[in-house]
C-alpha cells in the first residue's frame, strides 16, 4: 500500500514514473496478503497477474500421487530454454544433456537418449517415438512462454493412457488462447544461443486464436574449430491454435504446427570393408507437423467427455536410418458419477502409425516399413469409502498392440488415499505396467563395430562385426510398482511431499550372444564352420530378448518454503537405487545410468516491484554405467521490468565450471560433448 502512495506522489513526474507505477504485476505476484489488494485502484487490480488455477491448487494438496507441476511462473523464472532443462527441477526425474541438442530424460532410472520407460505427451499428443522408443527432444523446442504448465507424475499407477508410462508420464499443456491475446515478442541473444519468438492472439466472434513462429539457433558445445564434434542446432517452428466456446457446455480446440531444422551430430559409421569404422560430422534434417482437434463437452460438474483427434508426421533424414512416421490417433474419454460416492472415468483410443525407413550397413530395419496399430482403453472408479475421507481407486488399462503380437495387455492399478485433513494426504498404490517393444527391438540390425582383420581384437584374416539384432518374438517388459506417499502443507507458507517406491521389473531387454554367422551367406557356424573361408565377413550376433530382471527403489522429496512474501525457496531431493542382475546390468535397457542422489534448490527473490533475482543450484551424483562424475552447478537470472509491457532478463547457466560432461549415448552411435557455461540476454515485449 505504501508503494501506491509513493506512486501517487510521483505520478506527476512523468513518463518514467508512469512506467514504474503501472508495473504492479510483479510487485503483487508475491503479495500473499490479500488485504493489500483492497488498497489498489481498480485500474491497478486489472493489472494484477493471477493464478488462474488457484482453486485447483487447493486440490493438488489432496492429489494422491507423486505429482509435480512446473507452472508458467516456474518456467519464466528458471532461466531454462528447453523442456528437458526445466525438468531438472522435478524430483525423481533424471535429466542429462548429451550434446547441444540431445537430452536423455527419464523418471526413476533407466536413462538414455532412447529412454523408453517414460511417456511424454503434449496437449494429449504423444511425443514418444515407437521406432527407437523415447523422445527426440531436439524436435520439441516448443516456445516455452506458451506453455501453461508441465505435469509430471512418477510411477505408472496414476496414469490412464499409454503402455509406455512404466516409470511415469510428463504432460505438457500449452496455454489457452485467452492467455495469449495481444502481440508478444521475445528475443534472446547469448554466448551460445540466438532465439526469437513472435506471437499474436486475438478474437473472432466467440473464438480466440493465436499464431506464432519461433526461430532457434544454438551453437554447438564443441569449440568452433571446424574439427571434432559439431553439434549446432537450428530450428524453425510455426503454428496456430483456436479455442472456440461453441456453446455453454461445448468447447472445441483446433491446433496445428509445422517445423523444420538441422541438427549437427557426430556419427559412427561401420563398413564390412576398409575403413571399417569411421566417425564423421554430419547434419540430421528434421521436419514435421501435426493437426489436432479436441472437443470438450461438460454436462455437469461431475460429468463430461472429451474427444481428441490428431494427425502427426515426423521426418528425420541424413543420418541412418532415415525415417518418416505418420500417426493418426483418436481418443475418447468420459467421466460420470452413476452412484453417490463413485466417480468413474473410462476411455477408448485407437492409433495407427506407419513408418518408412531407409537404413545403412551400420543400422537398418527389416522390414523397412511397418504399420503399428494400437487399440487401448481404460476404466477407473474412484470410490469414497464409508469411513471419513478415505478413497479407493481401482482401475485398469487395456491394450492390444501389434508390436506385441496383439496380446491383450492388462495393466491394473489400485490406490488407497486418505485425506487426513485439509492439508494432509497419504496414499499407497500398487500397479502393473508394461512397455511394448520398439521397432528396433524387433526389427533392428545394428552393426555397432567392426573388428578389422589382423588386429589384436581379431587375429583372423577376415573382418568381424559386433552386431545387435532385434527379435520378432520379444515380449513387453513388465513392472510391478509399489508406492507410498505423503503430501502436506504444515503451514500456510510451507508445502512438502515425499514418495517412496519399489519397482520390480521382469523381462527387461538384454542381448544374448549367439553363434557367429558368415555373411553375406547368412550361414551359421554351427551349421557349416567351413563357411569361414568363403565369407566376406563374420558377424558376432547379439540378439535382443527378455532376459533381465531387476529392481529399483528410492525416495523423492519436494518442498517449497515462502520465507517472506518476496522470497521463496523450492527444493527437491531424489534417491534412487538400482539392483539389476548381472545380465541386465551389462546388456540391458536398465543399468546404472542414473544418479543415486540428486538435489535441486531454487531461490526466488522479488528484489523490488520490478526486479527479480533467481538462483538455481543442482547436484547430480555420478553415473556408474557411463563413468560420468558427479557435478554441482548453478544458474542465475536477473530480471528487470521496465514497464508492464517490457522486460529484460540476464541469465547465466552452469556458472560454476567452464564445462562438464553429463552423459554418454548408450547406443554408442556418436560422441557426446560437454555442457558449456553460457550467458544470454532476453527481451520480452507484450503489446495489447
Nearest to another protein of 307, 674 (CB atom) = 307
Least CB distance to another protein at residue 602 (A): 10
DSSP structural state of residue 675? E
Q: What are phi and psi of 18, to 5 degrees?
A: -60, -40
Q: How far is the CB of 95 from another protein (least distance, A)?
A: 18
| Short-list 198, 196, 200, CA closest to 208 | 200
Dmax (CA) of the chain: 98
For the CB of residue 74, give the shortest distance to another protein in the complex, in Å.
7
Among residues 7 and 69, whose Cβ is nearest to another protein? 69
Task: Read off the C-alpha cell for 197.
Answer: 519468438
Beta-bridged to residue 293, according to DSSP, are 254, 309
Q: How far apart are CB 290 and another protein at their closest, in Å?
A: 14
129, three cell numbers: 517415438
Q: Is the Cβ of residue 161 or residue 451 nearer to another protein in the bound state?
A: 161
How many angstroms separate the first and last alpha carbons of the chain?
A: 27
Give all strands (DSSP E) within 514-630, no chain letters. 517-519, 523-524, 537-564, 567-580, 597-608, 611-620
The grid coordinates listed for 331 are 481418443
DSSP-based three-state secondary structure for 56: helix
Beta strands in 359-461 (DSSP E): 363-365, 369-384, 390-401, 408-421, 424-435, 444-451
* CB 63, min distance to another protein, A: 6
Nearer Cβ to another protein (70/268): 70
Return the SS3 of 487.
strand
Taken in order 150, 152, 157, 162, the sign of the CA dihedral is positive
Residue number, 563 or 648, with CB nearest to another protein: 563
- Closest to 290 in 3D by CA, of 267, 268, 312: 312
Q: Which is nearer to another protein, 32 or 408 (CB)?
A: 32
Work out how close the CB of 482 gets to another protein at its nearest, in angstroms, rounded to a whole number. 20
Phi, psi (rounded to 5 degrees) for 247? -150, -175
Looking at the Cβ atoms of 487 and 660, the one nearer to another protein is 487
Among 476, 464, 465, which residue's Cα sits nearest to residue 544? Answer: 476
Residues in Cβ contact with 401 at an 8 Å cutoff, skipping those fewer than 6 apart: 163, 372, 373, 374, 375, 376, 409, 436
Cell triple for residue 687?
A: 503489446
- Give the nearest distance from C-beta 259 to another protein in angstroms: 21
Q: Which is nearer to another protein, 42 or 204 (CB)?
A: 42
Is the CB of 235 or the CB of 431 nearer to another protein? Answer: 431
* Residue 331 Cβ vs another protein, minimum distance, rounded to whole Å: 6
Residue from 629, 625, 622 nearest 666 by CA? 625
C-beta separation of 413 from 65 below 8 A: no
In the bound state with another protein, the residue whose beta carbon lies nearer, of 480 and 559, is: 559
- Shortest reach from residue 62's CB to another protein, in Å: 7
Q: How far is the CB of 157 from another protein (least distance, A)?
A: 12
Amino acid at each position: 500500500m505504501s508503494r501506491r502512495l509513493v506512486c501517487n506522489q510521483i505520478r506527476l513526474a512523468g513518463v518514467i514514473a508512469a512506467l514504474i507505477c503501472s508495473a504492479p504485476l510483479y510487485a503483487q505476484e508475491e503479495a500473499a496478503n490479500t488485504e493489500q489488494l483492497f488498497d489498489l485502484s481498480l485500474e491497478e487490480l486489472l493489472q494484477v497477474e493471477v493464478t488462474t488455477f488457484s482453486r485447483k491448487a487447493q486440490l493438488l494438496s489432496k492429489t494422491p500421487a507423486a505429482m509435480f507441476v512446473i507452472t508458467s511462473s516456474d518456467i519464466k523464472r528458471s532461466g531454462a530454454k528447453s523442456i528437458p532443462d526445466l525438468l531438472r527441477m522435478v524430483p525423481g526425474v533424471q535429466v542429462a544433456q548429451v550434446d547441444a541438442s540431445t537430452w536423455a530424460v527419464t523418471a526413476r532410472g533407466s536413462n538414455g537418449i532412447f529412454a523408453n520407460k517414460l511417456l511424454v505427451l503434449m496437449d494429449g499428443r504423444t511425443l514418444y517415438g515407437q521406432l527407437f522408443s523415447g523422445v527426440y527432444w531436439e524436435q520439441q523446442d516448443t516456445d516455452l512462454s506458451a506453455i501453461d504448465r508441465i505435469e509430471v507424475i512418477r510411477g505408472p499407477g496414476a496414469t490412464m493412457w499409454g503402455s509406455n508410462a512404466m516409470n511415469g508420464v510428463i504432460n505438457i499443456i500449452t496455454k489457452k488462447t485467452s492467455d495469449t491475446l495481444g502481440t508478444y515478442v521475445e528475443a534472446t541473444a547469448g554466448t551460445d544461443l540466438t532465439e526469437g519468438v513472435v506471437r499474436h492472439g486475438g478474437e473472432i466472434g466467440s473464438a480466440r486464436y493465436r499464431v506464432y513462429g519461433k526461430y532457434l539457433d544454438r551453437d554447438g558445445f564443441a569449440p568452433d574449430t571446424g574439427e571434432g564434434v559439431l553439434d549446432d542446432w537450428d530450428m524453425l517452428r510455426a503454428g496456430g491454435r483456436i479455442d472456440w466456446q461453441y456453446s455453454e457446455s461445448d468447447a472445441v480446440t483446433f491446433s496445428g504446427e509445422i517445423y523444420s531444422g538441422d541438427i549437427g551430430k557426430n556419427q559412427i559409421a561401420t563398413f564390412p570393408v576398409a575403413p571399417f569404422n569411421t566417425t564423421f560430422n554430419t547434419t540430421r534434417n528434421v521436419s514435421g507437423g501435426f493437426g489436432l482437434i479436441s472437443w470438450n463437452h461438460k454436462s455437469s460438474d461431475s460429468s463430461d467427455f472429451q474427444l481428441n483427434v490428431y494427425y502427426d508426421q515426423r521426418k528425420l533424414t541424413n543420418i541412418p536410418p532415415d525415417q518418416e512416421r505418420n500417426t493418426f490417433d483418436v481418443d475418447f474419454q468420459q467421466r460420470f458419477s452413476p452412484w453417490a460416492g463413485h466417480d468413474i472415468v473410462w476411455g477408448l483410443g485407437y492409433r495407427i502409425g506407419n513408418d518408412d525407413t531407409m537404413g545403412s550397413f551400420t543400422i537398418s530395419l527389416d522390414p523397412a516399413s511397418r504399420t503399428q496399430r494400437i487399440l487401448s482403453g481404460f476404466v477407473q472408479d474412484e470410490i469414497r469409502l464409508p469411513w471419513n475421507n478415505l478413497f479407493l481407486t481401482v482401475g485398469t488399462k487395456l491394450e492390444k498392440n501389434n508390436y506385441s503380437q496383439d496380446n491383450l495387455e492388462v495393466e491394473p492399478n489400485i490406490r488407497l488415499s486418505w485425506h487426513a485433513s485439509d492439508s494432509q494426504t497419504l496414499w499407497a498404490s500398487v500397479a502393473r505396467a508394461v512397455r511394448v517393444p520398439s521397432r528396433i527391438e524387433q526389427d533392428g540390425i545394428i552393426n555397432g563395430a567392426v573388428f578389422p582383420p589382423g588386429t589384436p581384437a581379431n587375429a583372423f584374416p577376415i573382418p568381424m562385426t559386433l552386431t545387435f539384432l532385434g527379435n520378432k518374438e520379444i515380449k513387453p517388459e513388465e513392472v510391478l510398482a509399489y508406492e507410498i506417499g505423503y503430501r502436506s502443507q504444515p503451514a500456510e507458507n510451507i508445502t512438502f511431499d515425499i514418495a517412496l517406491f519399489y519397482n520390480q521389473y521382469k523381462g527387461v531387454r538384454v542381448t544374448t550372444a549367439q553363434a557367429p554367422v558368415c555373411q553375406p551367406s547368412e550361414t551359421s557356424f554351427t551349421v557349416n564352420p567351413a563357411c569361414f573361408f568363403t565369407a566376406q565377413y563374420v558377424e558376432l550376433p547379439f540378439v535382443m530378448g527378455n532376459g533381465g530382471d531387476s529392481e529399483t527403489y528410492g525416495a523423492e522429496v519436494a518442498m517449497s518454503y515462502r520465507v517472506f512474501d518476496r522470497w521463496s525457496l523450492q527444493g527437491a531431493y531424489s534417491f534412487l537405487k538400482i539392483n539389476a542382475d548381472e545380465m541386465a546390468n551389462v546388456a540391458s535397457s536398465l543399468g546404472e545410468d542414473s544418479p543415486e542422489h540428486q538435489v535441486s534448490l531454487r531461490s526466488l527473490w522479488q528484489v523490488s516491484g520490478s526486479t527479480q533475482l533467481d538462483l538455481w543450484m543442482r547436484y547430480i551424483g555420478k553415473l556408474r554405467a557411463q563413468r560420468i562424475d558427479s557435478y554441482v552447478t548453478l544458474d542465475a537470472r536477473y530480471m528487470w521490468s521496465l514497464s508492464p509491457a517490457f522486460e529484460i532478463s540476464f541469465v547465466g547457466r552452469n556458472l560454476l565450471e567452464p564445462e562438464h560432461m553429463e552423459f554418454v549415448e548408450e547406443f554408442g552411435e556418436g560422441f557426446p560433448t560437454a555442457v558449456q557455461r553460457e550467458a544470454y540476454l532476453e527481451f520480452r515485449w507484450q503489446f495489447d
